[in-house]
Amino acid sequence: MTPAPGFEALRRTVRRPDLDDAALALCLEAALHDLCGADASEGIKRDILRGSARADLSSRVLASLCLPPPASPLAMPVHTLERPRGRMLARLSAGVRRLRGGRRVPVRVE
């Protein structure tokens, strides 16, 4: 089943490519029913899906859409939680130099 062009545009507008036409239609009908009542919602729904609705009405309807949570799990980036040791050692040696008055003290290795 190919998605309707109006629903495809609505899907792009709300940035939710995971929603199918039925879920979008249900959310849109609920928002229109809350805003306009049951009698005017079908004509306004048709206008919004065509893109011919007034801008203020479209923005009001989009702001009142109650979309379901994403179906796919959120992917967390994989990275270490440890701080890089190079920066830590550089700060430590700078602090030691500052305490010694800026002089570099030779380190003897035995």
Q: Which of 22, 26, 27, 29 is nearest to 1 (CA)?
A: 22
Q: In whole angstroms, what is the distance from residue 105 CA to residue 62 CA?
A: 67
pLDDT tens across the length of the chain (110 residues): 455 678 888 888 888 888 888 999 899 888 888 887 766 667 778 888 887 778 888 888 888 888 888 877 767 777 777 776 777 778 888 888 888 776 665 666 66
Contact between 4 and 58 under an 8 Å Cβ cutoff? The reply is: no
